Each structure stands twice: as C-alpha cells, then as structure tokens.
Amino acid sequence: MFIQDLKDCKEFTAGDGCTLRELLHPDKEELALRYSLAHAVVAPGQTTRPHRLTTSEVYYIMEGEGVMSINGESRVVTPGQAVYIPPNATQYIRNPGAKDLVFICIVDPAWRKEDEEVW
C-alpha cells in the first residue's frame, strides 16, 4: 500500500505560476502509473500563464472559484467540477475571488517538462 500525504510533498512554483505539490508521479515513486497527480493553488487575483501540454489534463476544483480558459473559450468553474483539457489546447485559469483557488491536476500520460510550452 502506498499513501502520500500532501503535507509531505514539496511545494514549488510551476512554470505556469501556480503553487504546486506533486502527489503522485511514476518517475518519483515505484508505482505502476501512466498519469501524474498534483495539488495546485492559485492565489486571489492571480492568473496562471497561458500554456499547453502535448498530453491531456483534468482539473478537479476543490475550493474557491475560477475562470478557466481553453482555446479562447472561458467559463466559471466552482468546487465539485472537473474540467477536461485536451492535448495541445492553450489553457490558463484565473482566480477572481478573495480566497485561494485550489484544484487537483491529473496529467495523462504523466507530466514532463518537455511536453509543456509556457508563454
């Protein structure tokens, strides 16, 4: 059995500017995974940098409210919603609220720096 506690994961600033903690990644643990799983936070009033991945990604919104933009289309996202981001889609998320926007990111296949382009 493998259990990863968020508080034990190193916090860092991702290339798109959000605060990230990687919970699961096949390159970091000896787990039979195709995907990576991360916990992300966008501070109030902040927007991630536009970026795209060659892989698919899913955001699951846990706290706060955001405005998700994918290929020029923007929609409000709230807790309990999952957002599918197709491969090669230009994406960013904005936090217009007064509290942190918190979400989980699932990237399949697992995130790798060479698969991401950030503006």
Q: What is the pLDDT of residue 64?
A: 98
> What does residue 6 show for φ and ψ, rounded to 5 degrees?
-55, -40
Q: How far is CA 111 from the centre of its chain?
A: 10
On whether the CB atoms of residues 67 and 74 are closer than 8 A, the answer is yes
pLDDT tens digits for range 62-77: 999 999 999 999 999 9
CATH number of the domain at 15-114, out of 2.60.120.10, 3.90.420.10, 3.30.465.10, 3.20.20.70?
Answer: 2.60.120.10
Question: What are 79's two structure tokens?
Answer: 């807790």
pTM of the model: 0.95
Residues 76-107 pLDDT 10s: 999 999 999 999 999 999 999 999 999 999 99
Distance CA 70, CA 93 (A): 9
Query: CA-to-CA distance for 52 and 16, rounded, in angstroms?
Result: 10
